[in-house]
Amino acid sequence: MSKRPSREYQRPAMQRSGLSLSGKVLIELMQAVHAKGLPFRFNAGGHSMAPFIRDGDVICVSPLASRAPGPGDVAAFIHPETKLLCLHRVLSVHGDCFLIQGDNMPEEPDGMIPREAIVGRVTRVERAGRKVRLGLGPERFLLALLSRCGLLAAIRRYAGPLYACFSRSHVSCKKR
Q: Does residue 144 belong to any structural domain of this protein?
A: yes
3-class DSSP state for residue 152? helix
DSSP E strands in 108-149: the ranges are 111-114, 118-127, 130-131
CATH number of the domain that residue 118 is part of:
2.10.109.10
3-class DSSP state for residue 53? coil
CA 14 → CA 6, 50, 96, distances in Å? 20, 18, 32
User: What domain count does the chain have?
Assistant: 1
Domain span at 40: 13-150
Model pTM greater than 0.75? Answer: no
Q: Choose among 87, 98, 108: nearest CA to 153.
A: 108
- The tens-digit pLDDT sequence of the chain (176 residues) is 444 444 433 444 443 444 556 678 888 999 999 999 999 999 988 888 887 888 899 999 999 887 789 998 999 999 988 888 999 999 999 999 999 998 888 777 888 999 999 999 999 999 988 888 766 667 777 777 777 777 676 666 666 555 555 444 444 444 44
